[in-house]
Structure 1
Amino acid sequence: MPKTQNLWSYKGEILQCLLMVYVWKAVSAQIRYSIPEEMQKGSFVGDVAKDLGMDRRRLPNHGLRIVPTIGRIQYFAFNIHNGHLQTSERIDREEICGEVEKCILKFQLIIESKLELLGVEVEITDINDNAPQFMPMEWKLKISETATLGDRLLLPKAQDPDLGINSIQNYRLSGSSHFSLDVQMEENGIKHAELVLEKNLDREEQAVHDLILTATDGGDPVRSGSAQIQVIVLDANDNAPVFNQSIYEASVMENIPKGSTVCTVRATDQDEGINREIKYSFQKITDKYSKNFLLNSTTGEIILKETLDYEASSLYQLEVQATDGGGLSDTSKVVVSVIDLNDNAPELAVTFVISSIPENSPAGTVIAILNVQDRDSGLSGEIKCFIPNNFPFQLKKSIDSFYSLVTDRALDREQVPSYNITVTATDHGTPPLLTSTVISLQVLDTNDNPPLFTESSYTFYVIENNLRGALIFALKASDPDWEENARITYSIVEGVMKIPPPSSYLSINSESGEVYALNSFDYEEFREIPFLIRAQDGGSPPLSSNVSVTVFILDQNDNAPEILYPSPPTDGSTGIELAPHSSEPGYLVTKVVAVDRDSGQNAWLSYQLLKATEPGLFSIGLHTGEIRTARFFLDKDALKQSLVVLVKDSGQPPLSASVTVTVVLADSIPESLSDISSISAPADPQSDLTFYLVVAVAFVSCLFFTFLLVLLAIRLHRWRTSQLCHSGSMNFSGVPVSQFVGIDGVRAFLHSYCQEVSLTADSRKSQFNISKTNNSDTLTNPLTGEVKDPIQAAEDLNLNSGDLIIIQVS
């Protein structure tokens, strides 16, 4: 024993030295296994290393072992080489748990490298290792020959220490035709058999009946036990003994001396003579109980043979039988309860302890792990552990009887440099017993104050097109520490905004916290820069804190409107729109579509008619860009009308763009061609009128047939690309040209012109694009046919206010 204590002391000192430089935290966990009883020593119980996710090759480094239990047999052992839990002793469930239905053995594993306790529960399942057994194996029963049919004789009960299906399930009787067997179930689930008289007895014919009573269990394989029952037929004894109580209950202290009378049973018999003489005996008694109790067969006194121990067994159940001289009997149950005494003081053991801790250790840091046990039960076994209230520590119960001494709040070495903590364990017995131990702890000084910003996050705004190197903002952090621990350096944390990284746009002064712009920002490229700024002190190790900063880019009006339709011609010609002579006022001739890359007010567009061949003949929507007729056409109106449209945004200063739209007044395409030809090539009054008329008619006829061929080719082309038209795709480089409207950079499809023709006037060497519109002034969804207003009218803009910057689209 001294050598074992020295070995444990040596191991504890080594482990304490290894733990002095770490802060450990105990984690409660539970591992459960189940094994059958009677396994060989060294049998496999469970793969602990696999269940804990540990590398078997590094098991010795973790220091995984079983925590020894004080005063108990250690049934299990841990193999440090393969991580298996094995049996170290043969386990007999009946010997350990008796009649307890669920037999569980508990112990603890400790991981010394993590200071982690793991509770292990191993359930010992029952196997059918005990056959039913009668004690004794030969019984003699006496019955009067005057017994009536249906009279019952109580047969002896077989004993089987197994439980459940492995215990006794049935009885079987053989050897006589005068009796039958009736098996009944008691309230506690135990079956008992009674011998029932089925045929009248005649002592002169047969004085003795030899029967065999067999008890079988439900195990696999089935086990059985037999007893020889000898039924002796007697002359009339018609009164059986009767106990004055069906159940006798007795409570004794566990320190009752040997030889004391525990209980006295008594039965009476109304017969006389030998049939009235009663003998008492135990009917159901095991070896365990027979060692502790003795029954006086004459007086019925139950006498204590050996001292009782509550911790070994707290309850004893006995069955007593009273038999008269005529062989009739009665049974009664005796229940002996053992009262526990507070005869064991709590046992307090310090499993692990660290002697020093940094002052900045978080609350809940483990200082020590203690194991507290009390062999008593009830109030005498209930243990309370406590420490002085004025200490910044707390005792927390982890699993079973283990407590962790942890910090309750932050420590300050400048106030208290060391502690002597007294841990006291006391039970609730009368009188209470207690045990105490002292744990010493030193507090180490650290750099425990990180730099702090005044706010948790910052937001700053900067207008786009800023100057390179301009100061954007400045941050300041404070640190209550001194000297190097209070010297703060600032830096931008990379990795928050991956594309683009904040360091490519911003730079920070590490000493002052001022942030500068490395480049000029463009609102259309990105609108915000989220990143983190870190403030780090000069302590060892250094402490730091991060703050979230978002820089929002504000928009400037730096993008002029872009006209999408009519698209600028590539050969210098002007796009032509067709308007019939019969057009009424409000007829939709065409629509100017424009967008602006800016946002907000800078992208609000308005349309204005700057110049027209015939002022007052056409009007344009202020916000829609729709060109409509303002009155009926007159004969004096020129067939070719040139309109200059100005598109202007609402920024400060406003930016604009213009486009020229040519409108030809004609009812049909041939007529427009004739009108255009007459305009571009007037007849010579000196020429021969007939000659030119013939040439004109031939030219128009050829042009008409050419137009028909072109129209047919276009129709075939449209038929081949009908899938593209149905899906709503658009081609701005070809014809027909689709109209769009620009709202904050979004292009909305309006409608497409249905017909187009390309005319080349050789005399003018110019090309005209002639389109005919449908007279619709609404927007139609090509898929659903739903008609919607093209643009919600906004508040009127003053087109004459502010300076105009005109960009000509020719």
Structure 2
Amino acid sequence: MSKCLKFRHGRGLALLCALLGMLCDTGTGQIRYSVREELDKGSFVGNISKDLGLEPRELAQRGVRIVSRGRTQLFSLNPRSGSLVTAGRVDREELCAQSARCLVKFNILIEDKLKIFEVEVDIKDINDNAPSFPTEELEIKIGELTVPGTRFPLKTAFDPDVGTNSLQNYKLSPTDYFSLVVNTGSDGAKYPELVLERSLDREKKEVHQLDLTASDGGDPVRSGTLCIQVIVLDANDNPPVFTQPEYHVSVLENVPVGTRLITVNATDPDEGFNAQVSYILDKMPGKIAQIFQLNSATGDLSTLKSLDYEEAMSYEIKLEAQDGPGLFSRAKILVTVLDVNDNAPEVTITSLTGSVPEEAATGTEIALINVHDRDSGQNGQVSVSVLGNLPFNLEKSVGQYYRLVTAGSLDREQVPQYNISLRATDGGSPPLSTETRITLHVTDINDNPPTFTHASYSAYIPENNPRGASIFSVTAQDPDSEDNALITYSLTDDTIQGVSLSSYISINSNTGVLYALRSFDYEQFREIPLLVTASDSGNPPLSTNISLNLFVVDQNDNAPEILYPALPTDGSTGVELAPRSAEPGYLVTKVVAIDKDSGQNAWLSYRLLKASEPGLFMVGLHTGEVRTARALVDRDVLKQSLVVSVQDHGQPPLSATVTLTIAVADSIPDVLADLGNIKTPADPEDSDLTLYLVVAVAVVSCIFLAFVIMILVLRLRRWHMSRMLHSTGDRGMPGSHFVGVDRMQAFLQTYSHEVSLTADSRKSHIIFPQPNYADTLISQESCDKSEPLLVSQDLLETKGDLKLFEP
């Protein structure tokens, strides 16, 4: 019995020693291989039997197998060759997305020796994916008023390969209107932007077709193309803008599915359909699109699947905000999956200055800030930064205190108030952060003078204006505030025709309204230059001058003035002669008038108001020429009286009249003969009348004799003057005069009758030949005749003294 016990006890010790020996021989090692992706099933990876120190036939005998923890088996053992081969096609992009290095780890167990070996296979990338865009076509709508140089973000291409096999370059098809700029982000990603090089004109070309090509650096090169259709619009020139270009959100890995992580917000300054913003997830690598969803209407980002800290600690989500017509902008959402660090830093404003003058020097202290994190170690190390491109800096003070100071000069007119956002971030992995806002007001100093909207002004006022009438109003703007922006207006004193300007015009110092203190006369002066000064109420005050030209507008306040025929000073009426042989259209005389007004107020028209013989004479509407309307007959009376009206075109029109007396006769003797043919009555009771007629004829004869003598004297005088003119080289005298009225010329033509004198031993008489016109060529025959005697204006005036032509 004891022997049996001893034997059993010995066998137990032997088994224990064998087991301990086997455990002592158990060891671990690491075997590394590398293989290209996309190899066929069964492709050689590595000689596992050699690396394990075994023969290929021993693999099955010793129970060599691959041990994995729930993963899909990517590799298998070939017991015949003793090699590690692929169990299927290996897709590197599916395993590791865009990680720079893709390692697949698993263990190999040798069961008989209980040995575990760690195998690490590096999956090498090949250029098996071409860059691709999220859509095949992109429509961009650009307003035709968009200034050259404006940039428009384009869709980015995605290439799941890595290294040189990934996306390397973008290229735009040739065009005269656009160019391509490729920006590189901090993560090395390339973002194409379309740059407008020339102004667009929708009326010339409404649609521009472009091709954007994305290419990688593989061999051979692979590429993808995005067709861009640029539609030229008249309005929508503002894409949506996110409230911040990059959103950060931290979330515990055990949050329930469907949890809203963050709400992004983009605003569009346009209105209506152009301001309707929708949110779209950009195409992303891996399975991000299967984990997160974005509400296109609200911008809420929520989870679709459970998060796993061991699989991914953070996600970078690219999204777009697109308005109705199609303009869009990009932003990022960085989702950080937290494992342990669950306390965000705390920021306390210990001291704060609510306002600072705009002249404050660089380094002026604004606030004292204390930061604290309840975590410890690296998770409790907090750093603080100022968000945005603001002229402020943070300087380290004592312990966890920071001083917020100015980093440059401030300008209240550009930014009157700053909303300073401070971000405190701890050193955890992933980090947590807290943002705090500080409102800072910039107080004003008087550093801007008043400015007018125009470089100069022009104002118009009709003449004969009432006193105190408002003329014009000037307005200046001052970007300063309070008293520094309180503006007063004044006029620089000057003189107008020796009189102070202040007696003509005044200005309201508060409103800038100009008033007329007098009634202006266009015929006196037409333009008044003014200099208006706008001054603020700062200390010291600043001012600006502006020129203002005041133009006086003409009104119809002057009636036409008749120059010819001139009104006699003795009350008599001038006489014009019309021969009985005159044909229709014969020019008898011309009425000449002027108007001191200008423009339409000085346009004159002539009309025949009254005639002793209607239908015998007519007056030119615009020339004032009096002509015969028909041929003269014997029954026409000797003396004709015409009343001519001259009227301007003002509103209301003004007019003047003149009375013309026209004697119908071929010569003065004919006039006398007509008077002498008056039959004497046979009745003795009419003897007194006969006596009166004889006395009248005698008186007329005396006057006629004096008239002839006067003509001779004038003839001699003219002959003498012509001799003097010939000696100076002059050929003749001008027959017309010009009278200037308001830059217009009224043509005054002197009409004269040629008078020839013949005499014999028994009688003398005067012959009135056909009249000449200043604008009519003289025939050669008239040039060969002896120079006739011209009846001057003085002689015409003397005809008013003749009573021979009274009926």
Provide TM-score, normalisation by structure 2: 0.38
Provide TM-score, normalisation by structure 1: 0.38
Return the structure number with greater relative CO, CA threshold 8 A, min gap 6: 1
Structure with greater Cα Rg: 2
